[in-house]
Amino acid sequence: MNEQEKIRDRGVVIDAGFAGMQRWGLRIIVIAAAAWVIGWIIGHSWMVLYPVSLALILATVLAPPVVWLRARSVPTALAAAMVMLSFIGVVVGIVAILTPQVADKSGEVAAGATDGLQKIRDWVTGEPLNLSDGQITRAIEAVQEKVASSASAISSGVFSTIGTATSVIVNLILILMLTFFFIKDGHKFLPWVTTLGGARTGSHVAEVLNRSWNTLGGFIRTQTLVAFIDAVIIGVGLAILGSPLAIPLAVVTFFGGYIPIIGAFVSGALAVLVTLVTNDPKDALIALIIVIGVQQLEGNVLSPWLQGKNMNLHAGVVLMSVTAGGTLFGITGAFLAVPVTATIAEILRYTNEHIDDSVSVLAPKVDSKAAETLDD
């Protein structure tokens, strides 16, 4: 090979670069179109996917007790029925105890939050800060309107209309029935997928589904434990401070714990604002210290330790997924964002493992060919 053959013309190099950009551009367009189609399908089938998603999440929590009972020779149907009835009994008992206290004081929580925001506005616009009142007032008024509208929805309840009540009841019954079938017959699904897809495809699909199931179950169980610990610490702290709304705020903290990062921030801010109104600034400062301490405990100890290898997601990825899910689908999207992202991440990890396996299998062949070339 002479020197002229080794030198590539600049036009050839530029043309090759544009050809690569063209190929990748077409691929990106095809992927975006596929994502749009998937989003369209999800949007138009959400009425079905919503109860199925919640039932799957609930089944990940209830399936281990059913497996434990089946291992002790309890019939599958009986084991599933026992677990479902026990779960419903526990939930009904908790709701019966907490609902009167939370429902009666939901208006007070909202009023306390708005009054707390007003106190903060008066403080930052007065001495010694003397900040501009215009933007602060508009921002606080927007938050107050949002809190007030939320409080109105809470106080009026989800059963304000017959249509809403019917929808909630139908969805609840459907979720419970689907959960029962999932925990009763779910162990038959993966073998069926393996048989249906064949030895080559079915085994991969079954493995991905199994990993996704374990990841989802681990997330829900550990997040429940983390949320419960947060709620207990904050509730006990507020009760020691003498806050009359300690129990409602603890309940809000518990449910906020299912929305990582954002839920903890919002519920903590709500607890501090309400304490500022119901008690005094000193107690509000102590409540702020408690909330920050709990969030640091959760972020640096509880979540990394309890979640461990279940999630393996960076905090930035979690925050972006929660924000995107909340923007697209509201509170339901924010709740489902992290499980969906964790499932997608598990699929990508499995794919990456097989890519690495393929590369490691091909590498010796490439090396042997290179060695033969060198010998020649």
Residue partners of 77: CB distance under 8 A and separation at least 6: 184
Domain boundaries, the chain: 1-44, 45-154+162-357
Nearest to 325 by CA among 259, 266, 269: 259
Residue-wise DSSP of 243-287: -TTHHHHHHHHHHHTTSTTHHHHHHHHHHHHHHHHHS-HHHHHHH
pLDDT of residue 111: 58
- Rg over alpha carbons for the chain, rounded to the nearest Å, is 27
pLDDT tens by residue, 193-222: 788 877 777 788 888 888 888 878 877 887
pLDDT bucket at 157, cuts 50 / 70 / 90: very low
Work out the average pLDDT over 323-350: 79
Residue partners of 17: CB distance under 8 A and separation at least 6: none
Does residue 322 contact residue 260 with C-beta atoms inside 8 Å?
A: yes
pLDDT of residue 30: 94
pLDDT of residue 337: 80
pTM of the predicted protein model: 0.63
Average pLDDT of the chain to the nearest whole number: 74
Instruction: For residue 37, count other CB atoms closer than 10 A to its CB.
Output: 10
